[in-house]
Each structure stands twice: as structure tokens, then as C-alpha cells.
Amino acid sequence: MFIDLTTLITPKMVIDAEGNEKKALVGHLGTHFDVMNKEFPIEYVERNAIVFDVSTVKGRDIDITDIEILKVKSDMFVAFYTGFIEEEGYGSKRYFREHPQLSHNLIESLLDLEVSIIGIDCAGIRRGSEHTPKDQYCADRNVFVVENICNLKMLLLQESNKEFIANTYPVRYAETTGLPCRVVAKI
């Protein structure tokens, strides 16, 4: 069974995103990853993956104690279901500025475990002025951040123990900081 984790972009969403996020139309629209100054390794196209339900974490950063970190292995695609894309909808000012974020400690732990991809169902793993530097920090360690994924709740409803195969297919743009991509889960 396949589940598309890619955000469907409508013309209205493009207008909303363009009005609320200056980089939305330069490779950063909808589901994409922040490639920074790196090239997405072709072997990252298919990865063992896991999704963590962190939707109950409110009013603070999502931390290492909110997930079962021992289930994370090297080279994995690690996804976080916050529920924010469903709650807020893609493209609003609040969506880009008030989304949940991962703690520095959790991000560091994922990097230490040498995951390949961190996926999240909101505008980034950090907000505001910390967004771009943290994406660069991850990219410098060969970890890519896929933002604005959706349908993670469907994975949580499966009997697969929250593990799946993630297939990530970025568009081959050159010299951009963001690459639109399609992310498909195979259960």
C-alpha cells in the first residue's frame, strides 16, 4: 500500500503562501527539502522510515523524551506528526511563523544517530531566524529536512508499528536552497 505524503498545492495555496513567505515560490512551495549548498544523494531516494506522533506536545519544543529514540536507526527517514498542517492549513501567516518545532537536543540526537532525512508536517524543524541556520547545520551533516509533509496520521493508523519505507523524489533544480519533492510511504 502507498500513501502520498506530499502536500497538494492549489492555486489559492500558492497565493496564500506567496503573501506570507517570501521564499515560497523559489523551490520552497509545498513539500520540499532545504538542500542548502548540498546535493541530495541518490541513495536517499528510498529509506527505512518511522513516524512519531507528537501532536499532543503543545506550548513547548518537541524533545527527545517525546519519542522512542531507541527506534531510530542510522540512514532512516524520521517523520514527526504534529497535526499542524491539518489544524492550520498550508500557507497562512500563522502556519509559517507559529508552527511546532523540534528542540535543539532532539535535532542533535538525530544527527548523532546519522539519520538521512527529518520530515515534519509544518514549515520547518525550527522557526524564524533559527530556521535557515538549523537546516544548514543538518545539511552540513548530510541530513536533509523535508518540510510540509502531510497524511502522516494515515501512517499512524496502520498496523505497521509506525515503520514504513519512504521514497523521496526531489526535482533536479540547480543552485537553489529548496527543492520541491514528492514523498511516498510504502507500507
What CATH number is given to the structural domain containing 44? 3.50.30.50
Cβ 124 vs Cβ 147: under 8 Å: yes
Go through the chain and tell me how many residues it has.
Answer: 187
Asked whether residue 8 is assigned to any structural domain, the reply reads no
pTM, full prediction: 0.90
Asked whether residue 27 is assigned to any structural domain, the reply reads no
* Cα separation, 158 vs 20, whole angstroms: 35
Asked whether residue 43 is assigned to any structural domain, the reply reads yes
Asked whether residue 4 is assigned to any structural domain, the reply reads no
* Cα separation, 106 vs 118, whole angstroms: 11
Element spanning 53, H or E: strand 46-53
Asked whether residue 5 is assigned to any structural domain, the reply reads no
Asked whether residue 111 is assigned to any structural domain, the reply reads yes
* Cα separation, 32 vs 62, whole angstroms: 21
Write out the residue range of the structural domain in which residue 134 sits: 32-186
Cell of 43: 541513495
Q: Express each pLDDT in 49-87 by its tens digit.
A: 999 999 999 999 999 999 999 999 999 999 999 999 999
Q: Express each pLDDT in 8-50 by its tens digit.
A: 877 776 666 665 555 555 566 778 887 667 888 999 999 999 9
Domain count, the chain: 1
Asked whether residue 146 is assigned to any structural domain, the reply reads yes
